């Protein structure tokens, strides 16, 4: 019989020496370590939110919250469709870590701040909070974004809005499965996508019939929704067909009398990322719903929701980039190879600086866009520009996030590929913002439509792009060439991505020339606008001051 006492060889006590591993990055303030975000918050009118951002930044970087993020993604939600006796319960069971993170986000107003505190800079402060929260855990930010975005859409129906808005603005997270009227706070999701079409919502086949016996504006819905995230929300903005055409509805999860609505969860999606957050397929079967807006006005009614979730998608993608870059910078500062710290080796410096530039450009653009939402609140004439800017920003940042996440992962070597680090989660998360709230092509075609219908949007964008004229020769040449091509390019659907990419790069460069240190703006323009930079990250041209760029990026 083998002895149970381990031999010296078994324990390997003398060889198992841990050295040259970077420490876990935790118990740091995600806001205070980010000078780019701090500057943008102040510049774009959100200085009054700095203390809020500091508080949330401390929580998000804490070991406790980062552990919750790991737990919520490892112990993913489970569908409990029936109880043990066979009765439908349509319940989703989440790990306690999910509820902890939801409470954290709601307490800090990530879902509602601009509506609770409607003042200049409110969207900028909210964007900063969402940027921070997304660096802790992305899944919970999906219900935050949808609840935030539901408010302007619901306002199409003043009676419903007066009833629901106070619940949506509450800073209490209340996960109980009871009527919303009895809860301390409520959240709203959306159910637009069907099997036969997500981008093309006019292909929706879910039917809505009037049910006046159930109350004013009440309908009954029958059909199937192919994607419905955060299915334990209290209500869902839903599109369905009436005699008058595609119409928007609010579907409560629990009816006012306390009985469950017929909101039948068929299964949960087994997703690549965003795994802490449940996304369900839902059957509507004679399901109770209130109409929001007029019959046939469904798209017009729900567009404000889509517009606001696009802002959040851009912020989320920028946050994924930021957190990936922070992890790369942290690792490179602690790891040595071939006798020197990675962060001190010229080629790694080039990679890290290129990553930092991409992240800074994304954050700067997202925060400028958030100010656009504040500007448009004060002056509706700004709305066409903000619509265009939102689509450009959403397309571009979401396209860059997976590229940045993959390169940052490589900076950690093999450790970056292992689930002990946050990199696999960030990498899996990176593509989703490009898919939901308008996939890339759909966004680019939207942009062409905006250019055709709202020439003032383009005129305002051109003004914005001229704001840094004379600040960088590469930028001047790039913008002049773009302006020359704009009219013809705006007519060519097949070239829409090329046009949007040029608009996005011009805008990012313009913002950096105006607001970032010269060495950042110069390196960005030289590498992105002049054809000198390569197709991979880490190909900044020789003159770039990589050390100074990375020093600026991270106060670790
Ligand atoms: C994790 C996750 C959660 C989601 N949660 C929700 C939710 O809560 N509620 C909800 O309603 N939906 C949700 N969705 C669905 C999402 O919004 C849709 O998947 C998305 O809108 C795309 O629709 P689709 O899947 O039907 O693809 P399609 O519309 O079939 O598009 C497929 C591809 O074709 C492209 N395309 C479409 N039209 C054109 C065109 N005219 N020219 C060129 N290219 C085109 C698109 O850009 C896309 O790349 C979720 C999706 C995911 C992945």
Q: Cβ(388) to ligand 1 under 6 A?
A: no
Helix or strand or coil: residue 279? strand
Indicate the domain borders of the chain.
35-80+93-152, 180-298, 301-553
- The sign of the dihedral angle between the CA atoms of 25, 31, 37, 39 is negative
The per-residue pLDDT for 3 is 39
Tell me if 440 CB under 6 Å of ligand 1.
yes
Asked whether this chain's domains 180-298 and 301-553 adopt the same fold, the reply is no
Q: Quick one: DSSP state of residue 494?
A: G
- Which of 199, 265, 432, 438 gets mutated to test ligand 1 (max ligand atoms within 8 A of its CB)? 199
- Cβ atoms of 129 and 170 within 8 Å: the answer is no
Residue range 94-118, pLDDT digits in tens: 999 999 999 999 999 999 999 999 9
How would DSSP label each residue in 65-122? Answer: HHHHHHHHHHS--EEEEE-TTS-EEEEEE--HHHHHHHHHHHHTTTTTHHHHS-STTH
537: tokens are 């990250």
**Residue 226: CB within 6 Å of ligand 1?**
no
Closest CA to 395 of 498, 465, 326, 300: 498
Q: Does residue 433 have its Cβ closer than 6 Å to ligand 1?
A: no
Q: What is the model's pLDDT at position 1?
A: 35
Angstrom distance (rounded) from CA 515 to CA 323: 22
CA distance 20 to 10: 23
Taking Cα atoms as reference points, which of 316, 317, 328 lies closest to residue 355? 328
From 142, 189, 204, 227, the mutation candidate for ligand 1 (largest count of ligand atoms within 8 A of CB) is 227
Structure confidence by residue, pLDDT tens digits, 325-374: 999 999 999 999 999 999 999 999 999 999 999 999 999 999 999 999 99
The helix (H) or strand (E) run that includes residue 506 is helix 496-515
> Could you tell me the sign of the dihedral formed by the alpha carbons of 288, 293, 299, 301, in that order?
negative
Whether 137 contacts 100, CB under 8 Å: no
| Bridge partners for 216 per DSSP | none
Tell me if 41 CB under 6 Å of ligand 1. no
pLDDT of res. 6: 45
Distance between CA atoms of residues 311 and 355, nearest Å: 22
Q: Calculate how far, in angstroms, residue 272's C-alpha sits from the geometric centre of ligand 1.
A: 15
Instruction: Supply the pTM of this predicted model.
Output: 0.97
What top-level class would CATH report for the domain 301-553? mainly alpha
Q: State which CATH number among 3.40.50.10860, 3.40.50.1010, 2.40.110.20, 2.40.110.10 fits the domain covering 180-298.
A: 2.40.110.20
Supply the residue whose CA is at minimum distance from atom 23 of ligand 1: 198
Q: Relative to the CA of 200, which ligand 1 atom is closest?
A: 29
Cα 340 to Cα 84: distance, rounded to the nearest angstrom: 61
Gyration radius of the chain over CA positions: 24
- CB-count burial class (<10 Å; 0-12, 13-18, 19+) for 4: exposed
Closest atom of ligand 1 to 197 CA is 26
Q: Which DSSP symbol is given to 137? A: -
φ and ψ at 439, to 5 degrees? Answer: -70, 165
What is the distance in A from the centroid of ligand 1 to the CA of 438? 6
Residue 366 contacts residue 315 (beta carbons within 8 Å): yes
- 436 alpha carbon – ligand 1 mean position (Å): 6
Beta strands 218-229 and 279-292 are antiparallel
Backbone angles phi, psi at 344, to 5 degrees: -100, 0
CB count in 10 Å sphere of residue 547? 15
Which residues lie across from 291 on neighbouring strands? 249
Token pair recorded at residue 511:
């913002």
Q: Determine whether the shortest distance from the Cβ of 553 to ligand 1 is under 6 A.
A: no
| Tokens of residue 351, six digits | 């990679």
Instruction: Show Cβ contacts of residue 59 under 8 Å, excluding neighbours closer than 6 positions.
Output: 65, 104, 108, 136
| DSSP 3-state of 230 | coil
The residue to which tokens 């106060």 are assigned? 555
121 lines ligand 1 (CB under 6 A): no
For a substitution probing ligand 1, which of 92, 196, 198 has the most ligand atoms within 8 Å of its CB?
198
**Is the beta carbon of 45 within 6 A of some atom in ligand 1?**
no
Residue 350 in contact with ligand 1 by CB distance below 6 A: no
Q: Residue 287: helix, strand or coil by DSSP?
A: strand
Q: Which residues have C-beta within 8 Å of that of residue 108, sequence separation ≥ 6?
A: 52, 55, 56, 59, 129, 133, 171
pLDDT tens by residue, the chain, 556 residues: 333 444 445 556 677 899 999 999 999 999 999 999 999 999 999 999 999 999 999 999 999 999 999 999 999 999 999 999 999 999 999 999 999 999 999 999 999 999 999 999 999 999 999 999 999 999 999 999 999 999 999 999 999 999 999 999 999 999 999 999 999 999 999 999 999 989 999 999 999 999 999 999 999 999 999 999 999 999 999 999 999 999 999 999 999 999 999 999 999 999 999 999 999 999 999 999 999 999 999 999 999 999 999 999 999 999 999 999 999 999 999 999 999 999 999 999 999 999 999 999 999 999 999 999 999 999 999 999 999 999 999 999 999 999 999 999 999 999 999 999 999 999 999 999 999 999 999 999 999 999 999 999 999 999 999 999 999 999 999 999 999 999 888 889 999 999 999 999 999 999 999 999 999 999 999 999 987 778 999 999 998 999 999 999 998 8
Name residues whose C-beta falls within 8 Å of residue 447's C-beta, 6 or more positions apart in sequence. Answer: 388, 391, 392, 395, 496, 499, 500, 503
What single DSSP character describes residue 429?
Answer: H
Whether residue 439 has its Cβ less than 6 Å from ligand 1: yes
DSSP codes, 174-194: ----S-GGGSS---EEEE--B
pLDDT (0 to 100) of residue 460: 97
Confirm or reject: Cβ of 299 under 6 Å from ligand 1: no
Q: Could you give the count of Cα atoms lying within 13 Å of 498 in the half-sphere of its Cβ?
A: 11
Separation of 241 CA from ligand 1 center, angstroms? 19
Ligand 1 nearest-atom number relative to CA 443: 47
Q: Is 36 in the pocket of ligand 1 (CB under 6 A)?
A: no
């Amino acid at each position: 019989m083998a002895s149970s006492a381990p031999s010296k060889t078994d324990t390997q006590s003398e060889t198992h020496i841990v050295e040259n591993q970077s420490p876990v990055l935790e118990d740091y303030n995600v806001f205070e370590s980010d000078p780019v975000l701090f500057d943008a918050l102040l510049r774009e009118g959100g200085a009054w939110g700095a203390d809020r951002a500091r508080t949330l930044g401390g929580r998000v970087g804490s070991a406790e919250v980062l552990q919750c993020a790991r737990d919520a993604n490892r112990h993913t939600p489970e569908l409990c469709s029936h109880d043990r006796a066979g009765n439908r319960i349509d319940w989703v069971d989440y790990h306690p870590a999910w509820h902890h993170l939801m409470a954290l986000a709601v307490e800090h107003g990530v879902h509602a701040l601009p509506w609770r505190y409607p003042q200049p800079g409110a969207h900028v402060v909210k964007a900063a909070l969402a940027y921070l929260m997304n660096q802790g855990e992305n899944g919970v930010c999906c219900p935050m974004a949808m609840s935030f975005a539901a408010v302007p859409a619901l306002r199409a129906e003043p009676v419903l809005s007066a009833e629901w808005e106070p619940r949506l603005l509450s800073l209490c997270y209340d996960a109980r499965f009871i009527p919303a009227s009895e809860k301390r706070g409520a959240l709203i999701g959306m159910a637009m996508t069907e099997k036969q079409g997500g981008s093309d919502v006019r292909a929706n086949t879910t039917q809505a019939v009037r049910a006046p016996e159930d109350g004013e504006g009440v309908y009954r819905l029958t059909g199937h929704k192919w994607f419905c995230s955060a299915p334990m929300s209290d209500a869902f903005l839903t599109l369905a067909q009436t005699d008058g055409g595609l119409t928007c509805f609010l579907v409560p999860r629990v009816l006012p009398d306390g009985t469950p609505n017929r909101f039948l969860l068929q299964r949960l999606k087994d997703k690549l990322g965003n795994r802490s957050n449940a996304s369900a397929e839902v059957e509507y079967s004679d399901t109770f719903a209130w109409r929001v807006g007029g019959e046939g006005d469904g798209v017009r009614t729900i567009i404000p929701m889509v517009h606001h979730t696009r802002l959040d998608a851009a912020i989320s993608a920028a946050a994924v980039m930021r957190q990936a870059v922070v992890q790369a910078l942290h690792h490179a500062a602690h790891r040595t190879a071939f006798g020197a710290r990675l962060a001190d080796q010229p080629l790694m410096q080039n990679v890290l600086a290129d990553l930092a530039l991409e992240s800074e450009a994304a954050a700067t653009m997202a925060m400028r866009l958030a100010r656009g939402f504040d500007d448009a609140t004060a002056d509706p004439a700004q709305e066409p520009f903000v619509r265009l800017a939102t689509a450009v920003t959403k397309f571009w940042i979401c396209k860059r996030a997976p590229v940045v996440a993959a390169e940052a992962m490589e900076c950690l070597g093999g450790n970056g590929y292992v689930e002990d680090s946050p990199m696999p989660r960030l990498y899996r998360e990176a593509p989703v913002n490009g898919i939901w709230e308008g996939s890339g092509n759909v966004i680019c075609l939207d942009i062409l439509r905006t250019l055709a219908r709202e020439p003032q949007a383009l005129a305002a964008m051109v003004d914005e792009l001229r704001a840094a004229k004379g600040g960088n020769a590469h930028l001047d040449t790039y913008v002049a060439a773009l302006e020359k091509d704009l009219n013809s390019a705006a007519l060519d659907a097949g070239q829409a991505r090329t046009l949007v990419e040029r608009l996005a790069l011009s805008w990012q460069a313009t913002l950096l020339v105006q607001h970032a240190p010269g060495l950042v703006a110069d390196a960005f323009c030289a590498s992105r606008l002049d054809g000198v930079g390569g197709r991979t990250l880490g190909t900044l041209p020789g003159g770039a001051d990589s050390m100074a760029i990375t020093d600026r990026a991270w106060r670790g």
